[in-house]
Amino acid sequence: MLLQMDKITKKYGEFYANREIDFSLDKGEVHAVVGENGAGKTTLMRMLYGMEQPTSGTIRLHGKTIAFNSPLDAIRSGIGMVHQHFMLFPSFTVAENIVIGNEPSKIGTFDRKQAARIVEQLSEKYGMKVDPWAVVGECSPGIQQRVEILKVLYQGAEIIILDEPTGVLTPIEVGELLEAIKQLRKQGKSFIIISHKLHEVLDVADRITVLRDGKVTGMVGKEETDVNHLSRLMVGRELVELEKKPVQRGDKVLEVTDVTLRGNKGKHILDHVSFDVYGGEIVGIAGISGNGQSELLQIIAGLQQADSGRVAVNGTDTKNKNTRQIREQGLAHIPEDRYIWGANRSASVLDTGLMGHHRKLQKGGFLDFKRVRSMVSEWIAKYSIKAGDSLSTTSQYLSGGNLQKLIVARELAQGTPFLIAAEPTRGVDIGAMETIHTELLNKRDSGAGILLVSSELTEILKLSDRILVMYEGKIVGELTAKEATEEKIGLLMAGGA
Partner 1 sequence: MNRFNKILSPLLQPLAAILVGLIAGAIAIAIAGGNIVETYSEMWKGAFGGFYFLTNTLARATPIMLIALGVALAFRSGFFNLGSEGQMVIGAITAAVIGLYMPGPGWLVSTAAIIAGAVAGGLWSAMAGFFDYRFRVNLLISTLLLNYVVVLFARYLVSYPLKDRTGSAGLNQTPMLDASVWLPKLFKGMPLHLGFIFAVIAAVLLYILLKRTVMGYEMRMIGGNPLFAVYGGVRRGSMMMTAMLFSGAFAGLAGAAEVLGTQYRYLDGALSSAGYAWTGIMAALLANSHPIGTAVAAIFLAALETGAMGVERNTEVPLEVGDIIQSVLILFISARLTYSFIKRRKGQNTDGTAV
Partner 2 sequence: MEQLFDLALLNTAIRVLTPILLAALGGALCARVGLFNVGLEGFMLLGAFAAVVGNHFLQNVFLAVVFAIVVCMLFSLLFAYVSINLRANVIIVGIAMNALAAGVTTFSLRAIFDVKGAFYDSKMVGLPKWNIPIIQDIPVIGQIFSGHSPLVYLAFFCVALIWFYFYRTVSGFRFLASGENPLAASSVGLPVRRYQYGAILVSGALCALAGAQLSLGQVTMFTENMTAGRGFIALVATMLGQSGPLGVMGASFLFGFMDALSIRFQGLALPTQFTDMLPYVVTILAMFFFKDKSFMQEAQKQGTSSR
Q: Which of 5, 8, 17, 160 binds partner 1 (CB under 8 A)?
A: 17
**What does 274 bind: partner 2, partner 1, none (CB cut-off 5 to 8 Å by kind)?**
none
N residues, the chain? 497
Cβ neighbours of residue 229 closer than 8 Å, sequence gap 6 or more? 220
417/136 Cα distance (integer angstroms): 43
282-321 residues near partner 1, rule: CB under 8 A: 301, 303
Stretch that binds partner 2, among 99-107, 247-255, 325-333, 464-472 (CB under 8 A): 99-107
Minimum gap (Å) between residue 147 Cβ and partner 1: 25
* Cα 379-383-386 angle, rounded to 5 deg: 90
- Interface with partner 2 includes 69 (CB under 8 A)? no
- Say if residues 163 and 81 touch (Cβ distance below 8 Å): yes
- Interface with partner 1 includes 56 (CB under 8 A)? no
- Interface with partner 1 includes 256 (CB under 8 A)? no
Minimum gap (Å) between residue 496 Cβ and partner 2: 33
CA dist 112 → 89, 96, 128, 133, 271 (Å): 16, 8, 20, 10, 38
- Interface with partner 1 includes 37 (CB under 8 A)? yes
- Interface with partner 2 includes 340 (CB under 8 A)? yes
- Interface with partner 1 includes 365 (CB under 8 A)? yes
86/64 Cα distance (integer angstroms): 31
Minimum gap (Å) between residue 488 Cβ and partner 1: 32
246-305 residues near partner 2, rule: CB under 8 A: none
Minimum gap (Å) between residue 15 Cβ and partner 1: 6
- Interface with partner 1 includes 85 (CB under 8 A)? no
Q: Which of 66, 100, 134, 491 binds partner 2 (CB under 8 A)?
A: 100
DSSP 342: I
- Say if residues 466 and 262 touch (Cβ distance below 8 Å): no
Evaluate the CA torsion angle 409, 413, 414, 419 in order and state its sign: positive
Residue closer to partner 2, measured from CB, 340 or 497? 340
Query: Binding mask 325-364 vs partner 1 (x if CB under 8 A, - otherwise)?
Result: --xx----x-x----xxxxxxxx---x--xxx-xx--x--
466/379 Cα distance (integer angstroms): 29
Q: Which of 96, 336, 411, 459 binds partner 2 (CB under 8 A)?
A: 96
**Residue from 417, 415, 400, 419 nearest 333 by CA:** 419
Longest dimension (CA), the chain: 74
Residue 59 backbone phi and psi in degrees, to 5:
-120, 130
DSSP 92: S
Q: Angle 171-186/112-126 helices, nearest 10 degrees?
A: 90
**Residue from 179, 80, 189, 187 nearest 125 by CA:** 187
Q: Integer distance in angstroms from the first to the last C-alpha of the chain?
A: 46
341/464 Cα distance (integer angstroms): 24
**Residue from 245, 278, 257 nearest 418 by CA:** 278
Query: Binding mask 149-178 vs partner 2 (x if CB under 8 A, - otherwise)?
Result: ------x-----------------------
Residue closer to partner 2, measured from CB, 107 or 497? 107
Residue closer to partner 1, measured from CB, 119 or 419? 419
Residue closer to partner 1, measured from CB, 266 or 364? 364
- Interface with partner 2 includes 70 (CB under 8 A)? yes
**Residue from 129, 134, 166 nearest 150 by CA:** 129
**What does 114 bind: partner 2, partner 1, none (CB cut-off 5 to 8 Å by kind)?**
none
**What does 131 bind: partner 2, partner 1, none (CB cut-off 5 to 8 Å by kind)?**
none
SS3 state of residue 462? helix
SS3 state of residue 442? helix
Minimum gap (Å) between residue 136 Cβ and partner 1: 26
- Interface with partner 1 includes 386 (CB under 8 A)? no
- Say if residues 407 and 341 touch (Cβ distance below 8 Å): no
Q: Which of 105, 242, 397, 480 binds partner 1 (CB under 8 A)?
A: 397
Residue closer to partner 1, measured from CB, 181 or 408? 408
- Say if residues 40 and 214 touch (Cβ distance below 8 Å): yes
Minimum gap (Å) between residue 172 Cβ and partner 2: 27
**What does 83 bind: partner 2, partner 1, none (CB cut-off 5 to 8 Å by kind)?**
partner 2
434/437 Cα distance (integer angstroms): 5
- Interface with partner 1 includes 367 (CB under 8 A)? yes
Chain residues binding partner 2 by CB under 8 A are 70-72, 75, 83, 86-92, 96, 100-101, 103, 105, 108-110, 155, 339-340, 345
Chain residues binding partner 1 by CB under 8 A are 12-13, 15, 17, 37-43, 301, 303, 322-324, 327-328, 333, 335, 340-347, 351, 354-356, 358-359, 362, 365-367, 369, 396-397, 399-400
